[in-house]
Structure 1
Amino acid sequence: MNLASRLLRTRWLVRAPITLFRAGLGFVLGPRFLMLQHRGRLSGAARYVVLEVTDRPAPDRIVVVSGMGPTAQWYRNVLVEARVLVSTGTRRDVRALAHVLPPDEAAAVLDRYARERPGPWAALRPVLTEWAAPLAAAGGAERWEHVVPVVELQLLD
């Protein structure tokens, strides 16, 4: 397991930015991050996760990647309940709908991200490869990028 994977599995570290967003200070992290409020698929309770913005294809659309794969809790939750709240920059609790991009579109998003942000991509790629390559091989996918969950958030407000 590489360093980035270990850090992403360190609960207190990945949860720390949530405190900033909930205090109204999410703008400190800049436009590259957002806080997603979603509902627990079993409990129905509000859950929070801070994610890196991978793409902004339109003013009302934001794309994020499930860096921990299809077993990430936030990803599994939005599959059940697509209505979410998004906080980014100075905007807080914007209503949005989450939908998973088809594999070809997801691969294109990852290719564009790799070209436009080589530094962050260098840290993210080993994490994605760690879990996605075996999954792709087992599922017969032609490229591991075709099994990485990429979610588009359509802002409604």
Structure 2
Amino acid sequence: MPHRETHETRPTLPTGWRRLAARAPLLLFRVGLGPVFGKRFLLLHHVGRRTGLDRHVVLEVVSHEAVPLGWTVASGFGPGSDWYRNLRAHPKTVVQVGNRYHAVTARFLSPDDGARIMADYSRRHPRTARRLWAFMGLPADGSETSFLDAGRAIPCVRLEAADGHRPQSRGRE
């Protein structure tokens, strides 16, 4: 099911110093400080759909389930985000949470499933959700209905750990 775009405009990708600031979490993961983020952020390794090169992006976890192991992330810049499009082309990949690596498969959620997850996220993190909705130009007055409507406009991806996969710690076999 294609993702429904309810708004023509998405925020523009950051440039200049804002891009550097947005990429700072990636540097922290690279120097081994991934645990600083706890389970709230993960490092997604993905393969460029055209180049075949390894790519990386740090994403906020909007939902985490322990059984079966998986994380849900949202594409605030819409379905045109490079990482989102790359996962469409190559859904099997690896995520790093803290210093642990997990083999995962991306499953793209329907707008209604994404809306429920984003509404739950809004209840758990109301201030962050309000800022996110405002940044994205999505109306949300704080009601459950407005959070569901805003959530339908944000593509969500469930990253499901491979069956029987044992996470690898950094520097260990």
The alignment's TM-score, normalised by the length of structure 1, stands at 0.81
Percent identity of the aligned residues? 37
1:3-53: CA deviations, max 9, x gaps?
xx57x6232112111111122210012210000000000001000000001
Report the alpha carbon displacement of residue 97 of structure 1 after superposing the two structures with TM. Answer: 0.5
Residue in 1 that maps onto 2:158: 152
Asked whether the equivalents of residues 105 and 161 of structure 2 are also in contact (C-alpha less than 8 Å), the reply is yes
Residue in 2 that maps onto 1:80: 89
Q: 1:29 aligns with which of 37, 46, 57?
A: 37
Asked whether the equivalents of residues 106 and 150 of structure 1 are also in contact (C-alpha less than 8 Å), the reply is yes
Q: 1:61 aligns with which of 70, 77, 90?
A: 70
1:99-151: CA deviations, max 9, x gaps?
111111000001101011112112211233x2x68xxxxxxxx9453231100
Residue in 1 that maps onto 2:125: 117
Q: Given residue 53 of structure 2, which amino acid in structure 1 is its aligned partner?
A: A
Residue in 1 that maps onto 2:169: none
Question: What is the RMSD of the two structures over their aligned residues, measured on CA atoms?
Answer: 2.0
Q: Given residue 149 of structure 1, which amino acid in structure 2 is its aligned partner?
A: P
- In structure 2, stretches of 5+ residues that fail to align are 1-10, 140-147, 166-173
Asked whether the equivalents of residues 133 and 150 of structure 2 are also in contact (C-alpha less than 8 Å), the reply is no
Q: 1:98 aligns with which of 102, 106, 125?
A: 106
Q: Secondary structure at the match of 1:105?
A: helix
Question: What is the distance in 2 between the residues matched to 1:31 and 1:13?
Answer: 20
Q: Given residue 112 of structure 1, which amino acid in structure 2 is its aligned partner?
A: D
Q: Given residue 115 of structure 1, which amino acid in structure 2 is its aligned partner?
A: R
Q: Secondary structure at the match of 1:122?
A: helix
Between structures 1 and 2, the one with greater helix share: 1
Asked whether the equivalents of residues 34 and 51 of structure 1 are also in contact (C-alpha less than 8 Å), the reply is yes
